[in-house]
Chains A and B, each alone.
Chain A
Amino acid sequence: ETGVTQTPRHLVMGMTNKKSLKCEQHLGHNAMYWYKQSAKKPLELMFVYNFKEQTENNSVPSRFSPECPNSSHLFLHLHTLQPEDSALYLCASSPETGGVYNEQFFGPGTRLTVL
């Protein structure tokens, strides 16, 4: 595996379900990100981890819970979601956070549908 991988690619869940999204990066990076991408809207940054420590939480509802056990893996735990949470969830990584040149490498995303 190379780059950034995400599983599952597609997920349909009910509002009472609990599920988890997984992201893995094989680039040796120290920073990982979760984004939400909705149609015709800018990417919304949800969480940032740098060296396994959470550095950003952009007012994300508690029904989204991130976990970063090491610099290569990132999870997003989902519970009691709402239909408006349906979107593409993208994971990204970069060498570190901050800095003037910090190219982020993205995974293919998980297309989430909440019924």
Chain B
Amino acid sequence: GQNIDQPTEMTATEGAIVQINCTYQTSGFNGLFWYQQHAGEAPTFLSYNVLDGLEEKGRFSSFLSRSKGYSYLLLKELQMKDSASYLCAVIDSNYQLIWGAGTKLIIKP
């Protein structure tokens, strides 16, 4: 079967750095998305990786290793507004989007 694993919940301190991991076992791979979802709101696009390596966008970076079936989302200089759920999703060989259950990130002052 297809599976995406993420930690259920993480806690971090304002101003710090946090890394949210995602491991996947899917039938093929055609790219990986990270989305952010604030409570009661729509998921919004953060990043897309299809090649190995690090993609940086301001305070957020996303890393991919296809050989390891692994990605992480790195959030720097954490702000209170970064408290949200972070969803990892993989495009499989049939171009279907397979979703993880999401990681709830709690930021403390």
Contact = CB atoms under 8 A, between A and B. Distances in A.
Query: Is B a genuine binding partner of A?
Result: yes
Interface of A: 4, 40-43, 45, 90, 97-109, 111
Nearest to B98: A42
B74 interface: no
Contacts of A109: 40-42
Nearest to A9: B40
B50 interface: yes
23 contacts: A4-B42, A40-B101, A41-B101, A42-B4, A42-B98, A42-B100, A42-B101, A42-B102, A43-B99, A45-B96, A100-B30, A100-B95, A101-B48, A101-B50, A102-B91, A102-B97, A103-B45, A106-B42, A106-B44, A108-B41, A108-B42, A109-B42, A111-B40
Interface string B77-94: 000000000010101000
A48 B69 CA distance: 27
Given A40-B101, A43-B87, A99 B95 contact: yes
Q: Which of A4, A43, A45 has the most CB of B within 10 A?
A: A43
Q: Say which size band chain B's interface belongs to.
A: 20 to 34
A98 B101 contact: no
Given A101-B50, A109-B42, A45 B95 contact: no
Q: Which of B42, B50, B87, B102 has the most CB of A within 10 A?
A: B42
Interface string B51-75: 0000000000000000000000000
| Main SS at interface, chain A | loop
A33 B80 CA distance: 31
Nearest to B41: A108
Contact of B97 (A41, A104, A111): A104
B42 A42 contact: no
Contacts of A111: 40
A99 B96 CA distance: 9
A42 B99 contact: yes
Contacts of B91: 100, 102
